[in-house]
């Protein structure tokens, strides 16, 4: 959660590194970097929402409106204070994350993903650090996904995966490779 200007800067830099790599561009291009711009607006909304004071409250509402409108245009719903630093949304188009979910650092997600609750509002996923979620995956319920897990495209995850460094896939999702998790984790 962003609670200071230093946190805000760290989150922006971690997100930038996740999107373009450590030696990539420092700023989004005027065209073709709309998802990166969305992530920047998300972090500005988080920062101003979490800081005390009238100015931050007003700016929080302004960035909240921009976050909402840009999300509608891109087909993204990523609530504030859900994703830790290093967020990498690969494409625009239908990404829905429940506002009660908890997602760790370096979350790498594709389009068509839905991370949601089951029957009750408190039945939402907790996702660890360095998790990759492929296109079209669905993750529902009061479950936990361990660190360094890869979720294959089109999978439906309804049960916890407590073993780190594995790949899960299928409907319902099961471990399909217990020797390799997220392929995008540094050092893998």
Domains observed in the chain: 5-75 (no CATH), 94-177 (2.160.10.10)
Residue 70 is classified by DSSP as H
What is the reported pLDDT for 71? 97
pLDDT of the residue at 74: 97
> Could you read off the pLDDT of 48-107 as tens digits, one per residue?
999 999 999 999 999 999 999 999 999 999 999 999 999 999 999 899 999 999 999 999
Instruction: Show Cβ contacts of residue 24 under 8 Å, excluding neighbours closer than 6 positions.
Output: 16, 17
Q: What is the pLDDT of residue 159?
A: 95
pLDDT digits 0-9 by tens, 110-160 = 999 999 998 888 899 999 999 999 999 999 999 999 999 999 999 999 999
Report which of 173, 176, 180 is spatially closest to residue 136, judged by C-alpha positions.
173
Nearest to 171 by CA among 131, 149, 145, 138: 138
């Amino acid at each position: 959660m962003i609670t200071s200007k230093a946190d805000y800067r760290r989150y922006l830099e971690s997100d930038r590194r996740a999107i373009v790599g450590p030696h990539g561009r420092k700023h989004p291009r005027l065209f073709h970097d709309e998802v990166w711009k969305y992530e920047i607006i998300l972090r500005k909304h988080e920062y101003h929402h979490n800081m005390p004071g009238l100015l931050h409250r007003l700016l929080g509402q302004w960035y909240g409106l921009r976050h909402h409108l840009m999300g509608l245009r891109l087909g993204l719903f990523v609530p504030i204070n859900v994703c830790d630093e290093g967020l990498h949304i690969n494409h625009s188009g239908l990404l829905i994350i429940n506002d009660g979910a908890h997602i760790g650092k370096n979350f790498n997600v594709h389009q068509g993903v839905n991370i949601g609750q089951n029957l009750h509002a408190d039945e939402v996923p907790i996702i660890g650090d360095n998790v990759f979620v492929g296109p079209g995956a669905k993750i529902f319920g009061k479950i936990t996904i361990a660190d360094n897990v890869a979720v294959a495209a089109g999978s439906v995850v309804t049960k916890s995966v407590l073993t780190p460094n594995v790949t899960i896939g299928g409907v319902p999702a099961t471990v399909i490779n217990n020797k390799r998790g997220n392929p995008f984790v540094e050092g893998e």
